[in-house]
Amino acid sequence: MSDDALRLHVPEPHSRPGDAPDFSDFAIPEAGSVRRPPVDCKADDIRDLAFSIIRVLDDAGEAKGEWKPDLSSEELLRGLRHMMTLRAFDARMQTAQRQGKTSFYMQHTGEEAVSCAFRLALGPGDMNFPTYRQAGLLIAGGYPMVSMMNQIYSNAEDPLKGRQLPIMYSSKSHGFFSISGNLATQFVQAVGWAMASAIKRDTRIAAAWIGDGSTAESDFHAALVFASTYRAPVVLNVVNNQWAISTFQGFARGGSATFAARGLGFGIPALRVDGNDYLAVLSVARWAVERARRNLGPTLIEHVTYRVGAHSTSDDPSAYRPKAESAVWPLGDPIARLKTHLIALGAWSQERHTQAEAEVMHEVVTAQKEAESHGTLHAGDKPSARDMFEDVYAELPPHLRRQRQQLGV
């Protein structure tokens, strides 16, 4: 082989099982240090924000800087409660899957702030186009936990009639578009929904969601083109939790410094936010939502977070990343950080937190008992086999009627 032979570059994460996890080259700005530009700025005016990280809460739990949102203690406590509920919900459903009550589950551990905080920036009628780790949009949006569990159990009361894989929720009334197992498809659909709202001179906006890994899909890039071209009233959220199953985020990011920077090539204002900082996520979300609402066009937000748990109940991350990696993740835990903030404000205490944990768990367990009274995947009441043939089309066509008769239902 000659000296000038070409070589293929294949990215590698910093550490693999057996290595010491290392985030030392992960640059983290001080809380409060990143400026808050006016919402009518141009992408070019805020290029630096696509390479920084907007943070509000510092390590001592103090809220700092221009992005500090105006929130009462009650609002903060409600946010904490949402995140704690999601975590307890995850714990119970993960266990339920292990007990064979359902086939599959996906936890949010470490990412609770992203969807719980973002939801509060939206208004009635706005529509999320989520992927599979944003159940906080439902929890914080007041969707009943029992309905979520009924879906997870595919039982007789499953609003989706046992058709979908667990956690692939859908609720138009709660601004939550039907989740697809196929990645990235929803991202461009969100842009279309937002364009429709503009076509109809409506006031509602859309929020698109995608993971770091799935930004590699063509639909992500199509979404940016359309959002940019038509200045669609949409917030484009990239949740960078560092891992796409076993593949670290460097594969989807390639030579680009950040996922937020993807927006710049399309002329879309792009921000990076500390996804484990409830206050920062809510503040950035409000900024982007205001831009969309004022017809100023799309915003791309990269939520920098970490997937503490496995990708799903079918996954074992110890095969591809150091077990201790989540413990050294430098942005901490979103619940612990908001709790520390509330204690620093004098609005909360460890005792009250422990009590709240018990209350939240009780609520989740109560919902779980109710859901299980309607059946679980392999026990109790099931959706009707007749339902399998419904909704394929608006009206049951003759060939499906025939097939249903053959099945004898």
Closest approach of another protein to the CB of residue 214, in Å: 5
Phi–psi pair at 9, nearest 5 degrees: -90, 125
User: Can residue 214 be called a binding residue for another protein (CB under 8 A)?
Assistant: yes
Q: Indicate the SS3 state at residue 229.
A: helix
Amino acid (one-letter) located at 290: E
DSSP 340-351: HHHHHHTS--HH
The answer to whether residue 320 forms part of the interface with another protein (CB under 8 A) is yes
Binding range to another protein, per CB under 8 A, among 229-237, 257-265, 338-346, 388-396: 388-396
CB 89 within 8 A of CB 145: yes
Is 166 a binder of another protein (CB under 8 A)?
yes
CA dihedral 332, 98, 86, 109 (to 10 degrees): 20
Nearer to another protein by Cβ, of 229 and 403: the residue is: 403
Piece of 22-30, 70-78, 110-118, 152-160 that binds another protein (CB under 8 A):
152-160
The CA distance from 56 to 281, in Å, is 9
Instruction: State which H helix or E strand residue 335 sits in.
Output: helix 334-345
User: Which region among 20-28, 81-89, 117-125, 217-225 touches another protein (by CB under 8 A)?
Assistant: 217-225
Q: How far apart are CA 366 and CA 323, in angstroms?
A: 33
The nearest distance, CB 155 to another protein, in angstroms, is 8
Tokens of 80: 């904490």
Cβ-based neighbours of 13, under 8 Å, separated by 6 or more: 248, 250, 321
* Angle at the Cα of 210 from the Cα atoms of 182 and 57, rounded to 5 degrees: 150
Q: Tell me whether residue 199 or residue 319 sits nearer to another protein (CB atom).
A: 319
| 201 contributes a contact to another protein by CB under 8 A | no
Residue with smaller CB distance to another protein, 13 or 297 = 13
Q: Is 225 in the site for another protein (CB under 8 A)?
A: no
8 Å CB contact between 109 and 308: yes
* Single residue of 5, 319, 327, 394 touching another protein by CB under 8 A: 319
- 297/322 with CB nearer another protein: 322
Residue in 31, 53, 122, 183 binding another protein, rule: CB under 8 A: 183
Binding residues for another protein, per CB under 8 A?
A: 7-8, 10, 16, 103-104, 154-155, 158, 161-166, 168, 180-184, 213-214, 216-219, 244-247, 251-252, 254, 314-315, 319-320, 377, 382-383, 385, 388-389, 392, 399-400, 403-404, 407
